[in-house]
């Protein structure tokens, strides 16, 4: 169930990335909050590099194709990047490439795994919803994410960039994630802005 919320309190320790493959504990802790961020409001250098390169690659097309993307042109941020296949039938999304830093943070390499193998239900639903959103929008979108689960508290920002081999229908998603500074995350989630959604 997706529930809009107006306010929440920050709780947790230093941010880390989600552990994609770990199941929920019996106590059922799996709380996910996301808030939309304007893509032009992102200031982290990793996001700026990803956006500039995406626009360079697409040129006059609505979106670039996977073949337009040269990983070596993104070598500074590759460790923070996911490449997700968009499928026409369930499970609809599959993790093709997982950056080494993300795999290290997560203690799990999801490369080759499908979205339905993400065991935390709330987190899986959030991924399904936001991946579907960028697939339908056919433009970059960004979110601030707060996920509390049995193994830790996670606070990060994420940019999703659509790719389309035919220039029109999204068949891959390029995701870039950057952990938030503790103080910034604490201040924001104590008094979040509009548009926050709970999964």
Residue 32's pLDDT band (cuts 50, 70, 90):
very high
Residue 13: CB atoms within 10 A of its CB come to 9
What per-residue confidence (pLDDT) applies to 19? 40
Whole-number Å distance between alpha carbons of 37 and 157: 9
Q: Going from the N-terminus, what domains does the chain have, and what CATH number goes with each?
A: 3-198 (3.30.450.20)
Cα–Cα distances (Å) from 9 to 12, 47, 57, 146, in that order, read 10, 27, 40, 11
The predicted-structure confidence for 45-67, as pLDDT tens digits, reads as follows 999 999 999 999 999 999 999 99
Whole-number Å distance between alpha carbons of 33 and 64: 30
What per-residue confidence (pLDDT) applies to 80? 96
The predicted-structure confidence for 117-146, as pLDDT tens digits, reads as follows 988 889 899 999 999 999 999 999 999 999
What per-residue confidence (pLDDT) applies to 174? 98
Residue 106's pLDDT band (cuts 50, 70, 90):
low
CA–centroid distance for 98 within its chain: 12
Q: List Cβ neighbours of 149 (8 Å cut-off, separation of 6 or more).
A: 18, 19, 22, 24, 29, 30, 31, 120, 123
pLDDT at 12 over 60: no
pLDDT at 11 over 90: no
Return the H-helix or E-strand segment holding 84: strand 81-86
Whole-number Å distance between alpha carbons of 71 and 78: 7
| Tokens representing residue 197 in the block | 């959604």
């Amino acid at each position: 169930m997706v529930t809009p919320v107006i306010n929440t309190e920050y709780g947790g320790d230093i941010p880390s990335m989600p552990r994609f493959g770990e199941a929920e504990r019996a106590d059922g802790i799996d709380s996910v909050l996301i808030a939309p961020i304007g893509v032009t409001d992102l200031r982290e250098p990793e996001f700026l590099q990803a956006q500039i390169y995406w626009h360079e690659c697409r040129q006059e097309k609505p979106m670039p194709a996977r073949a337009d993307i040269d990983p070596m042109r993104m070598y500074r941020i590759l460790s923070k990047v996911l490449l997700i296949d968009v499928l026409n039938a369930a499970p609809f999304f599959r993790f093709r490439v997982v950056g080494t830093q993300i795999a290290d943070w997560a203690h799990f390499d999801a490369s080759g795994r499908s979205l339905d193998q993400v065991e935390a239900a709330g987190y899986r639903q959030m991924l399904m919803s936001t991946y579907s959103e960028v697939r339908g929008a056919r433009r970059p979108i960004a979110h601030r994410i707060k996920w509390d689960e049995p193994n830790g508290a996670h606070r990060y920002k994420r940019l999703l960039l659509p790719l389309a081999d035919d220039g029109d229908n999204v068949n891959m998603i390029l995701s870039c994630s950057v952990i938030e500074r503790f103080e910034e995350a604490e201040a924001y989630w104590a008094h979040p802005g509009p548009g926050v959604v709970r999964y």
